Amino acid sequence: MTYQALYRVWRPRTFADLVGQTHITRTLQNALEQSKFSHAYLFSGPRGTGKTSAAKIFAQTVNCEQAPTREPCNECAACVGILDGSISDVIEIDAASNTSVDDIREIRDKVKYASSAVPYKVYIIDEVHMISTSAFNALLKTLEEPPAHVVFILATTEPHKIPLTIISRCQRFDFRPISSQTIMERMQTIVDEEQVSVSRDALEAVALAAEGGMRDALSILDQAISYSNESVELDDVLAVTGSVSQPILTEMTSLMHEKDAKETLILLDTLIQEGKDPGRFVFDLIYFLRDMLLYKSAPDLEGMLERVLVDEAFKEVSASIDISWIQQAIVQLNTCQQEIKWTNSPKVFVEITLLTIANEVHGSTATTEEVAPSSEPVADQSALMKRLSELESAVQKLEASPQQESQQRTPEPRRQQPRNQRNRFQIPTERVHQVLREASKSALQDVQGKWSAFLSNLKAANAPAHATIQDSNPVAASESAIVVAFRYEIHCSLFLDNQDMIQSVLAQGIGKPLTIIPIPADSWQDVRTDFIQNHDHEQQDEEPKEEEEADPVVEQARDLVGDDLLEVHD
């Protein structure tokens, strides 16, 4: 295969080619020129911003035969050998596939040996956040005091996952997302060299779709060149990326603002039928409205607009829309963008969101007719004057007798409204009492002894169900049921949704089926006390009945000696 992707052909070979990262390249160049470079670096930032390229350029420059220098010559044996990978002293490691502590120990063991072909050994560890904690610990000592001939360069897109003990031993450089303008200028240079015809609108669309990544931009451009016939136009880029053109976004915004729900849904359906991604459409619409909001807030910020070209159609729609409407629409779309990540039907969420935006009242642009029909005037001038006179008379009366009026108007103490009981858990008092009547200490001890193992088995089987019952404790048990006190009342209701599954796991651990009766922990003592009191009353009621059932031996003795001489002992 002779063809190479654009991002490989045009990978930076010098610091000058590394666009958009001047704050990093200048620091590294000065350190290399003065031979004051560090033993360890951490390059962090979004994908495609030049982290690995900068590491390789650094390795070339530090080992270049012209060193100390600001740029690699790319002509000497060292530079060429590092470029083609023939020099083994520059080692590039993918941490995503070398995560174990043994991989890092291998580096630690080999780092002490001197380099064979160039002055410095350079270890480039890409996506370093993927290695394990034990591997980081194995790397600590070597990273802190490596041999003089070794340089470590760690690259990552997620620096927050790297231990602070590692970060503190490195010089950290944060690569920034590359601006759209910088990406466009770089792509223009490339297409001129490649002699490919690409329109400026197409380059702008590619730069916006790349979201700050130069590699992503060149990959999209490569796709668009393959998709197009002779010249790459805007429609080619939109077809490749799934993005939506500005005229369609302008039309969609206008339809929603005019509350034309029918045409809004028809336009959305047309876009989906053409293969546009719903998530990408929401993303583009958010940025379109963001640019419109900036433009309306400060027209002088036109240079900061990321997704919009200020044409006549855009100006016309912007002038008719209020800022508050734009803000509300952005909030609704942002919520939709979060929701569609977790659904298999993103189109439904997008439709609901667009309808919600279209049906909202136009903020401060709402007219009087939208609030009240124009055919029914609120009041004429004479009625208003009459009403004003009545109010003035009432005020005068209040001022004349403020104390009396105050006493008359003193409101009664407002009774505290009872708490709404509809959503509260209904305590199964009678079922709890039934368990307490049949309860035994041995049955409760048996359940309590196996409760911890049951919770572990439940967590492995169903984590959400385990979450509802983990803060609970069995407080009474019979041969067929147990009463479980839950720390939080809401968990009692949630438990009922998973009751069958939880009781099935419990039966496997206990060895017999048991019915779980939930009760809030703060209500358990009240129910138990109530049961004890009622139980005592029941026993007292039963005592006369027990006395009526006379013992036949006692009765026979009473007949023989009489009540005066009879004394009964238990």
DSSP codes of every residue in 488-522? SHHHHHHHHHTHHHHHHHHHHHHSS--EEEEEEHH
Q: Any residues with CB less than 8 A from the CB of 566 and at least 6 apart, and which?
A: 554, 557, 558
Architecture of domain 246-364: Up-down Bundle (1.20)
Q: What token pair was written down for 524?
A: 């358990």
Place of tokens 């730069």: 207
Mind giving me the DSSP string for 280-325?
A: HHHHHHHHHHHHHHHHHH-GGGGGG-SS----HHHHHHHHHS-HHH
> CB neighbours (10 Å) of residue 330?
19
Q: Per-residue pLDDT averaged across 403-417, rounded?
A: 47
Among the ranges given (28-42, 152-166, 437-451), the one the predictor scored with the smallest mean pLDDT: 437-451
In 24-141, beta strands by DSSP E: 40-44, 90-94, 121-126
Separation between Cα atoms, residue 288 and residue 526, nearest integer Å: 61
Which run of H or of E encompasses 222? Answer: helix 214-227
pLDDT tens digit sequence for 239-270: 888 888 888 999 999 999 998 888 999 999 99
Model confidence band, residue 539 (pLDDT cutoffs 50, 70, 90): low
Q: What's the fold here for domain 180-241?
A: Helicase, Ruva Protein; domain 3 (1.10.8)
The domain locations on the chain are: 6-174, 180-241, 246-364, 429-529
Take residue 210 and report the two structure tokens written for it: 């790349």
Angstrom distance (rounded) from CA 246 to CA 284: 9
Instruction: List C-alpha distances in Å: 487 to 429, 471, 475, 522.
Output: 17, 6, 12, 8
Please list, in sequence order, all residues whose beta carbon lies within 8 angstroms of the beta carbon of residue 55, skipping any fewer than 6 positions away: 41, 43, 122, 124, 153, 155
φ, ψ for residue 452, nearest 5 deg = -65, -45
Looking at residue 17, the DSSP 8-state letter turns out to be: G
Average per-residue pLDDT in the chain? 82
Token pair 């997704």 is at which residue? 307
Q: CA 353, CA 553: separation in Å to the nearest integer?
A: 88
Nearest to 51 by CA among 172, 182, 134: 172
pLDDT of residue 67: 85
Kindly tell me if the per-residue pLDDT of 330 is higher than 70: yes
Q: How far is CA 439 from CA 183, 452, 469, 537, in A?
A: 76, 21, 22, 19
Q: What is the pLDDT of residue 120?
A: 92
How large is the average pLDDT for residues 212-217?
A: 91
CATH architecture of 429-529: 2-Layer Sandwich (3.30)
Residue 330 region by backbone torsions, left for phi larger than 0, else alpha for psi between -120 and 50, else beta: alpha
Confidence category of residue 179, pLDDT binned at 50, 70, 90: confident
436's tokens: 């307490």
Homologous superfamily in CATH for domain 6-174: P-loop containing nucleotide triphosphate hydrolases (3.40.50.300)
β-pairing verdict for 472-477 and 481-486: antiparallel
